[in-house]
Structure formats: C-alpha cells, structure tokens
C-alpha cells in the first residue's frame, strides 16, 4: 500500500495480488491497522484502503505494534514486578537493552524510508 500513491484507495485484492498473499489474510491484518489509525478503509465498489496519514509519519514500529502487540522480548523488560527474581536476575539488563534497541530501530524507520529504499537504484534484493 505504501508503494501506491498516497490518498489513493486500493482494494485488498489488488494489494494482496501484488504481494502474492491471500486477500482474506490481508483483510485480517488490516483490522488491527484500522483500529490503530494507521490505515483507513472505504466500503463499496470503489472502496479500498489507504494510509491514514503521510507514510513519512508512519513508523515500522507503529505497524508492528498494531499487528503483533508489544515488541518486548520478555515481560520483565518493562515491568519489574512480574519476576520474583528481579533483585538478582542476571538476564534482565540484557532483555531491557534488547527491547530498547528493537524499539529504537523500528521507531526510526518510516514507511517512506522503506519505499525510498525499494526504489533506490542500488537496492539489495534478498531472496531466501
């Protein structure tokens, strides 16, 4: 959707076909994205979806949190009261550092950054 013109409505079927995904699965992903205010949808024959705001304002972290929930690797990364070993845990610091690094990374990348990288002449394509 971010590769399409901003503000343009595009059907889930069109988007799904362009990324080789079932439109039913994509519709399921769109539910939390709509709830989070990341995308807007319009029903009807000319309906479809588009980003709710500029793709430069939408961060990868926003999308991940909307679809996946929290990004913290363990509860104790943010809540010190959940672990009975909190006073002598040797791992908690590592989990907190990892969570901070993940958050900093995904919140520093916008959808526009991904689109720009996609269209870059020297982009690297990864195939697994």
Q: How many CA atoms lie within 13 A of 35 on its CB side?
A: 10
47 and 21 fall within a common domain: yes
97 and 72 fall within a common domain: yes
Residue that the structure tokens 């990341």 belong to:
38
Instruction: Identify which has the larger pLDDT, 60 or 120.
Output: 60
What average pLDDT does range 24-50 have in this prediction? 91
65 and 50 fall within a common domain: no
- Bridge-partner residues for 40, per DSSP? 50
Residue that the structure tokens 């500029």 belong to:
54
Number of domains in the chain: 2
Instruction: Look at the alpha carbons of 29, 32, 38, 44 in this order and tell me if their dihedral is positive or negative.
Output: positive
| pTM for the model | 0.82
94 and 45 fall within a common domain: no
Q: Is the pLDDT of residue 64 over 90?
A: yes
Give residue 81's pLDDT: 74
Contact 75, 82 (CB under 8 A): yes
Residue that the structure tokens 């672990």 belong to:
83
Using pLDDT thresholds of 50, 70 and 90, give the confidence band for residue 7. Answer: low
**Does a structural domain hold residue 128?**
no
Which residues constitute the domain of residue 35?
A: 1-56
Tens of pLDDT, residues 102-111: 999 999 999 9
Radius of gyration of the chain (CA): 18
Give residue 128's pLDDT: 42
Tens of pLDDT, residues 67-79: 999 998 887 777 7
Among 56, 76, 95, give the residue marking a domain's end. 56
3-state secondary structure of 113: helix
Mean predicted lDDT score pLDDT of the chain: 86
């Amino acid at each position: 959707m971010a590769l399409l013109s901003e503000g343009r409505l595009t059907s889930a079927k069109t988007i799904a076909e362009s990324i080789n995904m079932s439109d039913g699965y994509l519709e399921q992903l769109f539910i939390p994205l709509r709830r989070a205010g990341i995308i807007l949808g319009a029903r009807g024959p000319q309906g479809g979806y588009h980003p709710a705001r500029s793709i430069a304002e939408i961060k990868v972290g926003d999308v991940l949190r909307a679809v996946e929930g929290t990004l913290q690797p363990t509860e104790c990364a943010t809540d010190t009261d959940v672990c009975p070993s909190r006073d002598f845990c040797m791992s908690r610091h590592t989990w907190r550092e990892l969570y901070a690094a993940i958050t900093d990374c995904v919140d520093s990348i916008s959808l526009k950054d991904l689109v720009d990288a996609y269209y870059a002449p020297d982009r690297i394509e990864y195939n697994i």
